[in-house]
Amino acid sequence: MRKIKIVPGEYYHIYNRGNNKQNIFLDNRDWARFLFLILYFQSPECFYNLSRQISYFVRNRVFNIVEFPGL
């Protein structure tokens, strides 16, 4: 059971590491995708030129996920 209770409306620090302290960002594209999604989900409204931003990320394949054989 969780030692610290999660309470609605409070602030929490999210650690940027994966299972067994592995890196969660393998390259700059992973980092850019993370930042874009943070901006997108924190915005109470559609942020400026959303379609242009998405087009940029799709055109530059930022949203593509590399598949690793055997995983």
What is the model's pLDDT at position 71?
Answer: 42
pTM as predicted = 0.42
Nearest Cα neighbor of 39 from 29, 30, 28, 50 is 50
List all residues 6 or more positions away from 6 whose beta carbon is below 8 Å from its beta carbon: 12
Residues of the chain with pLDDT under 50: 68, 70-71
